[in-house]
Chains A and B, each alone.
Chain A
Amino acid sequence: MSNFEDQLRAALQRQEPPRGFADRVLERTGRESADRLAPARRPRRMWAPVWGQLWWGPLWRIGAIAATLTVVSFSVTTYQHTREERAARQAELALRIAAEKLNLARDHVLRNLALPKDN
């Protein structure tokens, strides 16, 4: 490669875009994501009719997740947070079912205890 071509290469070296470029792009893609996910978003009362309880974590968390879709940057942190919430909700549902069936067993036992005994 000639000296001139080396100079051309130096003159045409890659440059980083202006500061904040990535954030601006993510903002635009964030708006697109929000629109794309709009049908999948549910109001927070999705959890409420059955629970009405706060044990299942603040219901606003679902709203907060949905709200982040319209926020500028959708970072790795949000992804991780969503994974954690999904694991938590699955654990909640699993424990709830377990407790329900424990209760069922308890009811069975109590029902049997209430039956008159044959002598």
Chain B
Amino acid sequence: MQPSYKASYQEGLTTLAAIENSAESRADFESLMRQHQAMVFSVAYHFLADRSLAEEVAQDVFLSLYRNLDAMKSAAHTTSWLRRVAVQRSIDEARKRKRRPQASLEDTVEPATPAASLDMLRSDVLRNDALWRMVAALPEIPRMVVILRYQEDLSPAEIAAALDRPVATVKSDLQRALALLREKSARRFGDTL
């Protein structure tokens, strides 16, 4: 027996509603992604020091957001959720690829930079690049602590939550990492900072 025209319409309208809900979710998602893409990508990039790898990680993070969109309770929750997932995925990626062996802070050797005059080294762009590379040379956890502190301006408590570590440990990591970075920077640039 053929369905009534009304039943056919209702079926079609249900389908359209499903499509519409999906489209609406995707519109929401697209907006969130554009709002947070720099943060997520930068966490991965500064940590992994590899743009294509960082993009892979960032894509995975947003795919995860897309799947969990309904679980986002607020704008703040979404931000902290994205940050936490970006941190975890970046660390997982680094461990998977064994990009850096675990080493103590004192043993860390910063990667070589192209030879340049002292004046050039002091230029902001090269200094920033060199500083970042020093950060990228840090062991994983201190590296991420520094990134979350100075890229994201997070407090030690917020960093501890993102890394699931005690606050005191985070503070200690931060202190030691800063001391090492200052020392390396002073050696490289001859500054007294």
Contact = CB atoms under 8 A, between A and B. Distances in A.
Contact of A22 (B19, B30, B150, B178): B30
A13 to B, nearest CB: 7
B45 A96 contact: no
A74 B17 CA distance: 15
Nearest to B18: A40
Interface in A66-91: 66, 69, 74-76, 78-79, 82-83, 85-86, 89-90
Given A86-B13, A90-B13, A32 B182 contact: no
Nearest to A40: B18
Given A42-B12, A79-B20, A16 B38 contact: yes
Contacts of A75: 27, 30
A92 to B, nearest CB: 7
10 contacts: A4-B185, A12-B146, A16-B38, A16-B41, A40-B15, A46-B12, A47-B9, A65-B16, A78-B23, A93-B6
Interface of A: 2-5, 7-18, 21-22, 24-26, 28-30, 32-33, 36-37, 40-42, 46-47, 49-51, 62, 65-66, 69, 74-76, 78-79, 82-83, 85-86, 89-90, 92-93, 96-97
